[in-house]
Structure 1
């Protein structure tokens, strides 16, 4: 039997050691990603013992990049970005610029060329999607306004990084790297325009044809009832589109897979596609991180400790201070600024993809890849500690600094109704908590009937838009009594909670009852147990989503069936 089986040994060693170290990392409350990277270091050529096939690992990592970017595209939400665009777009652009300038500065101080410095700075400027989402989710703030700002900020960073990945190959010669086929023409501007036109053609094809063809194909496969065929169709679409985009339009695998995910998100099968492809995406994502770890040279920690410290300082201090200052300038509370800055104080998968591309193009030296890796390992490992330190640090700073106390308590112009608000919104009105999918429909129905209402919404930009349309709205969490007081709950006829805020709904109801004992309260829940508890407590009229859906469907069935039944008799 032929025992020269490098693919199997690479997979066995990669998965096995990644499982062990990922498990240990999770037990230590560190993201499992750190364990995967360490697994790559152990089986890489820079450490003694077993060495996996680097070339094979590189190809497997390309598949990992495709599926990783496909997953990012599947979860990419332009709607989430637009909800916080006024702070996320300028914030991300300024923060990425500052981090890039800092990285470029230290790189040139070390004697690197300006092109290598630029790529190095860009690698340090983009945070990890995986780490940020898991950190916010673990702390229960992913769906909060602070979480939405951090995610929107990250979406802008992702889009900017995708653009950089597209432009790097044609600019390789100018940046001091290898002259590629894309960068071989004499006029660099012509090359850039050609590249952007190719990207635009690919995006147009995906948005026009892809949005129709992919959902239709998924529907045809779904009709067979075969789960494995559906999973195969999702994975085949991701890899085939990524490969086709690279061959036909000369764009990266990453961009092709990203847009494949974005287009598939438009399909009604997007959630099923995400669920069915998740195990394979996770498996190859692990291989991607393992293969990145194989490129790391641990000797850099001993040979160039000051360089490593400078990288970590840029990632965890420079980026954090920039994000903190930007959020404060936009008049958000100190607590919001600290959560956003902690969320972005790390780097991950996009940094590895960009650094790997920079090395392959001859722009970034191998040392740069090792420094990016070192910075990622240390910043990801320390990121949970940053989150844990937010609340104690905030209390200490507020206790010691008068300026910090003013920042935390300063008046948000959208946190109170303007003095010019019409009297009809201040007495006998409905206070509508939440302006999401349910809240918007309720508001539209109230507008049609001319019933006055005041919206209490955490999203400041939504409040700003409502006020621009002449609507009464206040920004803030309605679980805070001050928000309901600003909405004139004491004089309101009804409180309608249209957001499924399990934790805050009781506090909202209690505040409303204390200030207005006669007020009618209408609540929305997503849990049958919670709806029973709220009804038992007499909190108000409770609407449970699945229950109301069943009532509506039952009514439709009975009204259709009743005449036929009567005719039969």
Structure 2
């Protein structure tokens, strides 16, 4: 089947499944991930991950995070910066210590066990964003804290990954085509600091000027085109300094939200993203799952999945609780940090290429990432119901 045909069929299936899940009160992102699990290599084998699907899902997460930035309240993000950092710190320390320790108890090499802890310190807020949007809580104090913590999480995770790859390189094992380790660590960190300086200038001055320029241009939807240029440009800049493109697009969204064209751009991007690219991103999470050795490693998978949920829930939730959030709000924040998604998958993939994790455990860890990501929206939805008044 051609890629166009595959794309059309995937969209038909996700549309039907999302409709059914919506009627049952289940977040539609769960249905989209399950489409990938059931129709992909894990079960039926109808669809495979291809280069084109990978490209579409990458655009999907970039647009999703751009929309998240666009719908974020900048004053709230500033207001809840301190709890966001506490949430990020708690949500990183607990997985590294507990999941790394559990891996060691399963007989995994100490260095490899520590890297597994690093993998699960990552957070993919993309799935949480979809659920928060559904409950209209993206611009709440909980939503702002989750978004801020996820950005801090991503930066710290990339730094740790860079350090571990540098350590591996010092052992004489060069990392091919990873985009990491080719520059000294101090230079990588300096470039990342430069990226955040550029982001500040974009939010404060450049984005408003660019949107004013777009209004004077003749092409149809010139403002939306300019916003897309900013979105993709910032994603590219983030990737160039070894950050996730999702971080760049998130800051691009915040920058555009700081202009008078915010509502216009939001009305343009939501249909673009949710009509094609964002569903393919969630389907691709399911397509990455493999069950070849599932039963051989069932104890490891079950224990690690449980720990993946608990460590983020309690680690991040405790960070929020210590900074003054009540129990229910802390529960929302903790559950919003559970999903690992593309950030953990990317970290695991880079680590695998860098020989930080062996082939023996790589597929098991991917399965745990997908299972934790699959369960995360259920936990978050349960938490949100506690702070959302019944209609």
1:375 matched to 2:368: no
Of structures 1 and 2, the one with the larger relative CO (CA 8 A, separation 6+) is 2
Higher strand proportion, which one?
1
1:334-483 paired onto structure 2 within 5 Å: 334-359=327-352, 361-364=354-357, 365-385=362-382
1:179 to 2:175 alignment: yes
More helix, by proportion: 2
1:223 has 2:216 as partner: yes
Instruction: Report the equivalent of 2:256.
Output: 264
Please show how residues 322-333 of structure 1 align to structure 2 within 5 Å: 322-330=315-323, 333=326
Is the partner of 2:295 in helix, strand or coil?
Answer: helix
The 1-side partners of 2:346 and 2:331 are apart by 28
- The 5 Å alignment of 1:242-253 reads 242-243=235-236, 246=239, 252-253=244-245
Count of residue correspondences: 380
Report matched runs for 1:54-203 at 5 Å.
Answer: 54-114=50-110, 116-133=112-129, 135=131, 147-149=140-142, 151-165=144-158, 168-169=161-162, 171-174=164-167, 179-180=175-176, 191-203=184-196
CA distance in 2, matches of 1:142, 1:66: 17
Aligned Cα root-mean-square deviation (Å):
3.7
Inter-CA distance 130–240: structure 2 relative to 1 (3 Å threshold): closer
Q: Distance in 2 between matches of 1:97 and 1:221?
A: 45
Secondary structure of 1:267's counterpart equals coil
Residue 47 of structure 1 aligns with which residue? 43
Partners in 1 of 2:279 and 2:176 — Cα distance?
30
CA gap of 1:330–1:211, structure 2 versus 1, over 3 A, is: closer
Deviation at 1:205, TM superposition (A): 3.6
Matching residue within 282, 301, 304 for 1:289: 282
**Shift in Å at residue 373 of structure 1?**
0.6
1:14 and 2:7 are equivalent in the alignment: no
Offset at residue 323 of structure 1 (A)? 4.5
Q: Distance in 2 between matches of 1:12 and 1:122?
A: 37
In 2, Cα distance between the equivalents of 1:347 and 1:323?
A: 14
Distance 2:118 2:75 in 1: 26
Q: Which has the larger radius of gyration?
A: 1
Give the secondary structure class of the aligned counterpart of 2:154: helix
CA–CA distance in 1 between the matches of 2:237 and 2:260? Answer: 24
Contact 1:13 1:43 in 2 (8 A): no
Cα deviation 1:492-514 (Å, max 9, x = unaligned): xxxxxxxxxx99xxxxxxxxxxx
Partner deviation per Cα, 1:463-513 (whole Å, 9 max, x = no partner): xxxxxxxxxxxxxxxxxxxxxxxxxxxxxxxxxxxxxxx99xxxxxxxxxx
The change in CA–CA distance for 1:179 and 1:91 in structure 2 (over 3 A counts) is: same
* SS of equivalent residue, structure 2 residue 52: helix
| Contact 1:26–1:32 under 8 Å retained in 2 | yes
Question: How far off its partner does 1:99 sit?
Answer: 2.2
In the superposition, relative to structure 1, how do residues 117 and 30 fare at CA in structure 2: closer, same or farther (>3 Å)?
Answer: farther
CA contact (8 A) 1:355 1:372 kept: no
Distance 2:102 2:145 in 1: 29
Go from structure 1 to structure 2 and tell me whether the alpha carbon gap of 1:113 and 1:329 turns closer, same or farther (over 3 Å shift): same
Structure 1 residues 375-401: Cα deviation after superposition (integer angstroms, max 9, x where no partner): 21133345434656x69xxxxxxxxxx
C-alpha separation between the residues in 2 aligned to 1:96 and 1:25?
A: 32
Give the whole-Å Cα distance in 2 for the aligned partners of 1:115 and 1:270.
46
Q: Distance in 2 between matches of 1:328 and 1:184?
A: 37
For residues 114-133 of structure 1, the C-alpha deviation after alignment (integer angstroms, 9 at most, x for no partner) is 55444433443455535545
Tell whether the 8 Å contact from 1:234 to 1:277 is kept in structure 2 after alignment. Answer: no
**What is the rounded CA distance, in whole Å, between the counterparts of 1:278 and 1:270 in structure 2?**
12
TM-score w.r.t. length of structure 1: 0.57
Deviation at 1:68, TM superposition (A): 3.0
